[in-house]
A and B are shown apart, each in its own frame.
Chain A
Amino acid sequence: MANSLDTHLANIRESRVWQSIFRSGPGGSNLHRALAIQQNVFLHLSAVKIRKKSLAFRVTWYLGTLSLGGLLILVVTGIPLMLYYHPSVPQAYADMKDLQSVVSAGVFLRNLHRWSAHAMVLLVFAHMFKVFYRGAYRPPREFNWVIGVILLIVTLLLSYTGYLLPWDQLAFWAITVGSNLLSSVPVLGPKVRFLMLGGNTVNANALLRFYVLHCAILPLAAATLVAIHFWRIRKDGGIYAGKGNAGKGQSQ
């Protein structure tokens, strides 16, 4: 049985269709496995070879990977939520209530989105602290630290913009307070607040702007920065695994 399954899989791998997609072709050699990574648009962000000790739990506590997992869950749950949510003043709150009570699996998707959002903020902070206290931000990884700080800001902005969308009292006053905090920035503050809200009060324009930021602009920014973040791990000599690995420079 297992034998015939292996044969079937081998046949598929040797087919013309498979080989037109995966150029490296069949084979289990190190070269083939390296090519399988290198020639895949997603996997090529990572190195073809990783030190075994950098995969140990104690090195990273897998916090970066868990943050990515949070982001993926948020994208996968967020897109279906968009199908039932209208970012308009009369409908936003009612749509959120409908998702909780009327839409099949709506309450599951909404709560998964909400809890994952909380978890991701926590994980991103934990990831940052872990990197900081291990000294993994030091050269040659200082630029990736900067990318990471920008990603932290994007994560917080995603969290903040998503907070308004239920359009309940909590959301309204939270954004009122938050935007008034912004306007206490000298010179530019009130102007930036006006542009962010699209008006002087938290109103229809603010809801729409936060929706566009939350569903299009910030996720695109996050995806781009995450790609650079991962690619830089490879370019900076892999994950910092401890003293023996410090400052080895570029390996790939």
Chain B
Amino acid sequence: MSTTMNTKENNEKQDVAAAGSTRRDAFVKIGVGSLCVACSGAAVFGYEFLSPNVLYEPSPIANAGKPDRYPPGSVTQDSQSGIYIVHAAEGIYAMSAVCTHLGCLTAWKPELGIIACPCHGSKFNREGTKIEGPAPRPLEWLKSTISDEGDLLVDRSAPLEQKQFVRT
């Protein structure tokens, strides 16, 4: 009995050896394969879990009030929403107060007529053009519109490619 079994097994082994792989190899392949699938699934699952789908962050649209609050020639800083409202000869424009270097909040220096960043010393003029410092780009101009109620709305998530003015 046992002799026949052994012979049978031996024959089987020889057969699969000839074919190039054993039953064990196949199971190992299935095991490693499913482990890979499970790991990549876990990676995707983990990534999805870690990136929040709902954010409770302030709305990117800031209400800057009635445009006539900003007299001609003035630069007004709103530190809460991180924007400047500038009333130039061509009209009103809004600019991000977030430094393009590393994201610090810049400040308007009325006595010097410039915008300065406290973190690494970048300086800008009232159009946002860099005067000196490490900032790689000028300050971003932001899309601003007048709402139906006549308020000036500034979209902080929409930087402008070209200069745009709001006329009142």
Q: Which residues of A does B touch, CB under 8 Å?
A: 173, 176-177, 179-181, 194-195, 198-201, 203-205
Contact = CB atoms under 8 A, between A and B. Distances in A.
Nearest to A177: B102
A200 B57 contact: yes
B103 A177 contact: yes
A177 B104 contact: yes
Contacts of A199: 52, 55, 57
A234 B55 CA distance: 50
A177 B56 CA distance: 21
A180 B102 contact: yes
Instruction: Enumerate the 8 nearest inter-chain pairs by beta-carbon distance, A residue then B residue, closest first.
Output: A180-B103, A177-B102, A180-B102, A176-B103, A195-B50, A199-B55, A198-B52, A195-B51
B119 interface: yes
Interface of B: 47, 50-52, 55-57, 102-104, 119
B57 A177 contact: no
A173 B52 CA distance: 23
Contacts of B55: 199-200, 205
Contact of A176 (B50, B52, B104): B104
B155 to A, nearest CB: 15
A42 B4 CA distance: 56
A205 B52 contact: yes
B102 A181 contact: yes
A194 B57 contact: no
Contact of B119 (A177, A198, A205): A177
A203 B51 contact: no
Nearest to B50: A195
A213 B149 CA distance: 46
B134 to A, nearest CB: 12
Contacts of A195: 47, 50-51
Nearest to A204: B56
Nearest to A201: B57
Contacts of A179: 103
Nearest to B105: A173
